[in-house]
Amino acid sequence: MLFEILLALVKVVVILLGVILPLAALLTWAERKQSAVMQDRIGANRADILGLRVWGLFNILADGIKAFSKEDWVPPFANRFLFNIAPFVGLFAAMVTFAVIPFGPPLTIGGREIALQVADLNVGFLYILAFGSMGVYSVVLAGWASNNKFAQLGAMRGISQMISYEVVLGLSLVGIVLVTGSVRLPEIVAAQGQHWFGWIPKWGVFTQPLAFLLFLPAAIAETKRVPFDIPEGESEIIGYNLEYSGAKFALFLLGEFMEIVVLAALVTTLFFGGWQVPWLADTGFVLGNGATLDLAPALVAVLRLGSFLLKLLFFCWLQLLIRWTLPRFRFDHLLRLGWKEMLPLALLNVVVTAFVMLS
């Protein structure tokens, strides 16, 4: 029992502090650099250490020092307790979601089989939906506790948007559960390791293409990113985090980039095979024509871990690309898209998938 507890703590430290948090911090630099490239600018490159700029990477450290050294101001008529905990609620909801995401196949070390996920829950799918919906509490607490009508307006926008798209988000994933027959994420990933005719991988994007096209925009709407950034209203004097500054505002920003990584991990796990590599079995590559290429178990594990990481980075990059490509939705258009267009399609996808599975 003690070994299992220590192992879980090691996984938390390695996955969260060694991978997720550094990646979220790196995305703050990548977003600025990507926008600069798309707009024919240089971008962040001024911060240096001993004359070294390293493509502007030190701006990440400079931004953190600046944010945490600013005055931590609280509005005089705000609810101080709720105002202070609101940023942590959103950050916590994003962080704990990674507990059930399998980053790779189980490894056998010293005669013990070690799962590359913090917790293998029988209801991992429902766990993600439950904690993913907690982000709305951060928005409503920040807007209401600020005692500012513009912050409250941003919070109301955020609540309407997030509740609307949570329905589509959940329904779009029902098809994945029907096809794979499980709500455990390792089993969902394992089911995507099969192939049609020995060649075409049974990834979720191929078995549930409509679900993927619904899930991606709905999940981006949940993260409140462009073109669904109405709750923040960066170009307006409206936003649920309007009264925040310094470290607390930085925590909101870090939580947003954590949500980007969460979304990329979920898309990878549910629709793109997770750590699966097409035609790669435990012993090596097995092609549809019967040809094989034997590989060492350690190399197979490295390829699978690398596959997950590359897919994760690709979908992080895709979200940054969308951020600097599409304009913001108008609020009524946003709700109409969710309730009148995406929701009927999600219901149709569930009905058709159920009919096909029963036939």
DSSP run (H or E) holding 323: helix 297-323
Q: Are 268 and 237 in contact (CB under 8 A)?
A: no
Q: Is the pLDDT at 293 greater than 70, yes or no? A: yes
Supply the pLDDT for residue 1: 64
Q: Who wins on pLDDT, 321 or 11? A: 321
**DSSP three-state, residue 235:** coil
Mean pLDDT, all residues of the chain: 88
CA distance 107 to 128: 24
Q: Are 117 and 169 in contact (CB under 8 A)?
A: no
Looking at the chain, which runs of residues are DSSP E strands? 107-109, 112-114, 195-196, 200-201, 280-281, 284-286, 292-294
For residue range 180-232, list pLDDT tens digits in order: 988 899 999 999 988 887 788 999 999 999 999 999 999 999 888 888 988 88
* Residues 6 or more apart in contact with residue 55 via CB below 8 angstroms: 33, 45
Give the mean model confidence (pLDDT) for residues 248-255: 90
Q: How many Cβ atoms are within 10 Å of 282's Cβ, its own excluded?
A: 12
Identity of the residue numbered 312: L
Supply the pLDDT for residue 96: 87
The CA-atom distances, in angstroms, between 45 and each of 50, 55, 88, 246, 298 are: 14, 6, 30, 22, 39
* Residues 6 or more apart in contact with residue 70 via CB below 8 angstroms: 245, 246, 247
Residue with tokens 């997030």: 162
DSSP run (H or E) holding 185: helix 185-191
DSSP state of 337: I
DSSP run (H or E) holding 64: helix 58-69
CA distance 225 to 135: 13
Threshold 0.85, pTM exceeds: yes
Q: Is the pLDDT at 359 greater than 80, yes or no? A: no
Residue with tokens 């009919």: 355
**DSSP three-state, residue 211:** helix
Domain extents in the chain: 78-358
CA distance 223 to 200: 32
For residue range 140-161, list pLDDT tens digits in order: 999 999 999 999 999 999 999 9
Structure tokens at 73: 């101001």
